[in-house]
């Protein structure tokens, strides 16, 4: 196994143990199959290395391990086929660390690194999986249908219930996040028609 994956796994585990919201969401998996797979390169791996986002000291190791793994990661192309896919994937990227087909195979949860460049609005989307976002570096505004937007920085987290539309807006800073899924994890995210709540519209 490439030591960059092992270092990222160790950083994710350390963050899990140090963060009550993560521990409450799911246990950190203990039975992990190593299945590195082929990388799917993305220019965002370079962007992530050059501008990973500012962080506070507890999160620097996780940020740097995520940045180091970017060039060997299998970046996802979830929205590439959609009308805004090319534009979205120039600003937003995601790769998996833990999960059924991830570098470390896990059955009951999935864990992703998500990076978004400054000044982009990732539109409302939803999925059956329950989701927890933890900001590792930088900051972003998190929108959840029915709630006021929340601007979160390193160490802060937000929970997205199953099927509830949510969105992500970056302003002057990029954001790097660690995202956990549980529940029904096979269905990919799809764009939501719109938020029902006016206050959650993008700026
Ligand atoms: Fe989501």
CA atoms within 13 A on the CB side of 187: 14
Name the pLDDT band for 196 (thresholds 50, 70, 90): low
Distance 144 CA to ligand 1 centre (A): 10
Q: Which residues surround ligand 1, an ion (CB under 5 A)?
A: 131
- Which of 32-41, 124-133, 155-164 is least confident? 32-41
How many angstroms separate the CA atoms of 48 and 46, rounded? 5
Cα–Cα distances in Å, from 58 out to 19, 54, 62, 189? Answer: 11, 12, 8, 30
CATH of 3-25+42-183+195-200, one of 3.50.50.60, 2.40.50.140, 1.10.10.10, 2.60.120.10: 2.60.120.10
Domain ranges (residues) in the chain = 3-25+42-183+195-200
How many angstroms separate the CA atoms of 21 and 174, rounded? 23
Distance 177 CA to ligand 1 centre (A): 12
Q: Is the pLDDT of residue 174 over 70?
A: yes
Distance 194 CA to ligand 1 centre (A): 15
61, with CB counted inside 10 A (0-12, 13-18, 19+), is middle
Distance 132 CA to ligand 1 centre (A): 8
Distance 163 CA to ligand 1 centre (A): 9
Q: What is the pTM of this model?
A: 0.93
Q: Is the pLDDT of residue 199 over 80?
A: no
């Amino acid at each position: 196994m490439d030591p960059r994956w092992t270092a990222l796994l160790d950083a994710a585990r350390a963050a899990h143990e140090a963060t009550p919201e993560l521990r409450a969401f799911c246990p950190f998996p203990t039975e992990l199959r190593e299945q590195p797979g082929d990388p799917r390169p993305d220019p965002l791996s370079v962007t992530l290395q050059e501008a990973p986002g500012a962080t506070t000291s507890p999160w620097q190791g996780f940020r740097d391990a995520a940045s180091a793994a970017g060039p060997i990661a299998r970046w996802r192309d979830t929205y590439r086929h959609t009308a805004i896919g090319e534009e979205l994937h120039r600003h937003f990227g995601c790769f998996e660390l833990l999960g059924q087909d991830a570098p470390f195979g896990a059955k009951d949860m999935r864990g992703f690194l998500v990076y978004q460049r400054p000044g982009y609005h990732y539109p409302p989307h939803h999925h059956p999986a329950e989701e927890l976002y933890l900001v590792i570096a930088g900051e972003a505004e998190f929108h959840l249908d029915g709630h006021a937007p929340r601007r979160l920085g390193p160490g802060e987290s937000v929970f997205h219930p199953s099927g509830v539309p949510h969105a992500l807006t970056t302003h002057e800073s990029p954001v790097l996040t660690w995202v956990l899924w549980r529940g029904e994890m096979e269905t990919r995210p799809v764009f939501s028609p719109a938020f029902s709540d006016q206050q959650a519209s993008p700026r």
